[in-house]
Structure 1
Amino acid sequence: MTGHLHIWTLLCLPGLLGQLLPKERDHQVVKIQQALLESVRTPILSLTESIVQNQLDQCNATVSLLETKIREIEMRFAELETRKKDIKIAFYTFISFETAADILIFDRVVLNEGDAYNNSTGVFTCPVNGTYKFTWSVQIQNTDWGHVLVDFKLNGSTKGFTITFGPKEHTSTNTVILRLKGGDRIWLQKRSVTHIRIAAYETSFAGHFLYD
Structure 2
Amino acid sequence: MLYEEVMLSKTRIKELEQKVKECSCLSNHKRLLLPSTDPFPHIAFDAMLSGNKDHVGHADVPIIFDEVLTNRGDTYQKDIGSFIAPVIGTFLFSWTIRSDFGSSFESSLFVNGIRKVSLLTDGPAQSILIPVATKIAILDLNINDHVYIKAIGSITRGLLLSNINGHNSFAGSLLFTY
Alignment TM class, shorter chain as reference: 0.5 to 0.7
Regions of 4+ moved over 6 Å? none
The answer to whether residue 114 in structure 2 is matched with residue 157 in structure 1 is yes
- Once the two structures are superposed, the pairs formed by residues 19-168 of structure 1 within 5 Å of their partners are 82-84=38-40, 87-97=41-51, 98=53, 100=56, 101=59, 102-142=61-101, 145-166=102-123, 167=125, 168=129
Give the Cα separation in 2 of the matches to 1:82 and 1:110. Answer: 24
The residue matched to 2:160 in structure 1 has which SS?
A: coil
Give the Cα separation in 1 of the matches to 2:145 and 2:88. Answer: 9
The Cα shift of 1:95 comes to: 0.4
Q: How far does the alpha carbon of each residue in 1:24-70 deviate from its partner, in whole angstroms, 9 at most, with x for none?
A: xxxxxxxxxxxxxxxxxxxxxxxxxxxxxxxxxxxxxxxxxxxxxxx
- Once the two structures are superposed, the pairs formed by residues 187-198 of structure 1 within 5 Å of their partners are 187-192=148-153, 193-198=155-160
Between the two proteins, the alignment pairs up a number of residues equal to 128
Determine which of 147, 163, 166 is the counterpart of 1:186: 147
Q: How far does the alpha carbon of each residue in 1:109-152 deviate from its partner, in whole angstroms, 9 at most, with x for none?
A: 0000000001111010001111100011100123xx33110010
The Cα shift of 1:157 comes to: 0.8
Larger radius of gyration, structure 1 or 2?
1
Letter paired with 1:200: S
Aligned partner of 1:200 in structure 2 is 162
Q: Relative to total residues, which structure has the larger strand share, 1 or 2?
A: 2
Distance 1:107 1:173, change over 3 A: same
Give the Cα separation in 1 of the matches to 2:96 and 2:158. Answer: 15
Give the Cα separation in 1 of the matches to 2:88 and 2:96. Answer: 25
Give the Cα separation in 1 of the matches to 2:156 and 2:142. Answer: 35
The Cα shift of 1:194 comes to: 4.2
Letter paired with 2:120: I
**Amino-acid identity (%):** 29
Letter paired with 1:140: S
Contact 2:106–2:156, Cα closer than 8 Å, also in 1: no
Which deviates the most, 185-194 or 132-141? 185-194
Give the Cα separation in 1 of the matches to 2:157 and 2:75. Answer: 33
Aligned partner of 2:25 in structure 1 is none
The residue matched to 1:187 in structure 2 has which SS?
A: strand
| 5+ long unaligned stretches in structure 1 | 1-80
Aligned partner of 2:26 in structure 1 is none
Give the Cα separation in 2 of the matches to 1:157 and 1:194. Answer: 19
The answer to whether residue 125 in structure 2 is matched with residue 169 in structure 1 is no
Q: Relative to total residues, which structure has the larger helix share, 1 or 2?
A: 1
